[in-house]
Amino acid sequence: MKLSIIRAVLACVALVASNLIPAQASAHHSFVSEFDNNQPFEVTGSVTLIEWTAPHARLRVDVEEENGEIVNYNFELTSPAILMRRGWSRKDVQPGDRVTVSGHRARNRPTVGRATGISRENGEVIYRGVAGGEAESGN
């Protein structure tokens, strides 16, 4: 009888503890687990979407490939909180804006990458991420 009470109490504690852990903590990953530092690339295209979601903001860009096909690239940025601390607002990049994005490709998805830089058509740099694998600071 005491053993079943102990098990019930432990089950309740585990349930409560699992609800206290934020979902973002389990969703976060290291750079090297998803992206390849040996696959830098750069594309130019039109912004289709910017998502201000945790743990990373995302930028989607339509790029015209050499064969004329339009391909949507998906770039991971730093967190929205860090973007705002660096002076970004939701209005800085809008759908339709032409941008050049540099970054590192995902290991198994050629149209997904971690952005290390974004610039406007006029060359104005509007984002500098971190080099592959470096820790992101709050600065």
CATH of the domain at 88: 2.40.50.140
In tens, the pLDDT along 6-42 reads: 665 545 444 444 444 443 443 445 545 568 788 899 9
Residue 12 domain-assigned? no
In-domain check, residue 24? no
Residue 108: pLDDT band by 50, 70, 90 thresholds?
confident
* Beta strands at 98-106 and 125-128: parallel, antiparallel or unpaired: unpaired
User: Does residue 135 fall inside a structural domain?
Assistant: no
**CA atoms of 45 and 56, how far apart (whole Å):** 21
In a domain, 108, yes or no: yes
- Which structural domain, as residue segments, surrounds residue 64? 29-128
Is 14 within the bounds of a domain?
no
- Residue 35 is assigned to a structural domain of this protein: yes
| Within a domain: 105 | yes
Report the alpha-carbon distance of residue 137 to residue 97 in Å, rounded: 27
Question: In percent, how much of the chain has pLDDT > 70?
Answer: 68
Judged against a pLDDT cut of 80, whether residue 96 lies above it is answered with yes
**pTM listed for this prediction:** 0.71
How far apart are the C-alpha atoms of 126 and 88, rounded to whole Å?
9
For the chain, the domain total comes to: 1
Non-local CB neighbours of 124 within 8 Å, separated by 6+ positions = none
